[in-house]
Chain A
């Protein structure tokens, strides 16, 4: 799914400054626990989360996450936005809840990229 389409579907607001026209995400995962994200997310996914600190971006770098969506209208700190800009990880915020945002994207055809933990 194109990130531009995802922004439209979630009525999201882009927080980072790099162009996103060509960015696509292959799947999605919704979680607040970064250890779970590290354990379960497959590469090139978008992460939907209510957690709002620089650790989310570090997790994205390490786990090859393509984009981050903050739910419930949350806004990360200036430092977090700066880090995301440096690392070129697009971030957006939506007023939707985690459940609702995930539901809308799933219904629009975006698959779950959350694999079962501890399965090798």
Chain B
């Protein structure tokens, strides 16, 4: 039987933190210290002591013609001091064949090696075994913290760029159109499109109130497409600097009595739908309450079009309360 691989269960995977993910994503060269001070193997230990004291080093790699040949740590200096042997060359006291890391390995390799060897620092080599840097546990902590901060800034940046979209692109009439295909009976994903629409609006700079009201309107429309249509339908959102136009349309079966459908509490939904927390005849009423304008056009056996408009920065049209 083949050797058993460690199995990561779903439950375990759910608990993997972003920091752990980053330890696999980040490469050693991204967090290591570059331009490392290297010692010449033929200088005296006395000189190395001066350098350590001046630069506050606790260790440094020893190189000969660019190649790493050893590492000198404070422990090695102490040994030389004890023997009053500071005239000796570094070569005599350095630790030879130190444990090294490759620059393109993930940070997790460094963490594993630190745990295994108890060294405080490790030289990092490139593909040709040239010394390119040195890594400490402190470098790893700093690198992970920076990466976490970048994650945070990335979302901020997306939001910033998106909110300037309409200023950056000039035309007589600029609009952004989002389309989502909604499948009949797909309760599992019900609301997925609406969540995306809400997030898009926030990124584009809509106020939380506007995003929330549009979100509720398209969510109810999305559930209507899932519940009532023959083949599903489409959600279409057109975003312009002054208004948001949302449309939900399908190709059947159409609403027999539009006026009746608009009445609070009127519903044709099945028990199954009601168990999902919908189908109480409140959807269209909710939508009407949220948006500035709403129009429902339906033809029996042809389909239904629901138009919803939200005006931005226009007190004349827009509802002020939320």
Contact = CB atoms under 8 A, between A and B. Distances in A.
Interface stretch (A2-10, A67-75, A78-86): A78-86
B219 A59 contact: yes
B278 A55 contact: yes
Interface stretch (B109-117, B191-199, B251-259, B308-316): B191-199
Interface in B8-46: 10, 14-15
Contacts of B187: 53-55
Contact of B190 (A54, A78, A87, A120): A54
A81 to B, nearest CB: 8
Contacts of B276: 34, 51, 53, 55
Given A54-B188, A120-B321, A33 B277 contact: yes
B289 interface: yes
On chain A, which size bracket covers the interface?
20 to 34
A95 interface: no
B216 interface: yes
Interface residues of B, number: 30
Interface string B278-322: 101011011001000000000000000000000000000001010
A120 B209 CA distance: 13
The SS class assigned to the B binding surface is helix
A26 interface: no
A118 B319 CA distance: 13
Contacts of A81: 14
Contacts of A36: 280, 282
A51 B190 contact: no
A4 B216 CA distance: 29
A53 B275 CA distance: 10
B123 interface: no
A13 interface: no
B264 A118 contact: yes
A62 B212 contact: yes
B286 A38 contact: yes
Given A33-B277, A54-B191, A85 B216 contact: no
A53 B277 contact: yes
A34 B278 CA distance: 6
A35 interface: yes
Contacts of B192: 58
Contact of B216 (A32, A54, A62): A62
Given A55-B187, A55-B191, A118 B285 contact: yes
B138 interface: no
B208 interface: yes
A58 B219 contact: yes
Interface in A36-93: 36-39, 43, 51, 53-56, 58-59, 61-64, 78-79, 81-82, 85, 87
Contact of B195 (A37, A56, A58, A117): A58
24 contacts: A17-B14, A32-B277, A33-B282, A34-B277, A35-B278, A37-B277, A38-B216, A39-B216, A39-B282, A51-B276, A51-B277, A54-B191, A55-B223, A59-B219, A61-B198, A62-B194, A62-B198, A62-B215, A63-B215, A78-B10, A82-B14, A85-B14, A118-B289, A120-B289
Interface of A: 17, 32-39, 43, 51, 53-56, 58-59, 61-64, 78-79, 81-82, 85, 87, 117-118, 120
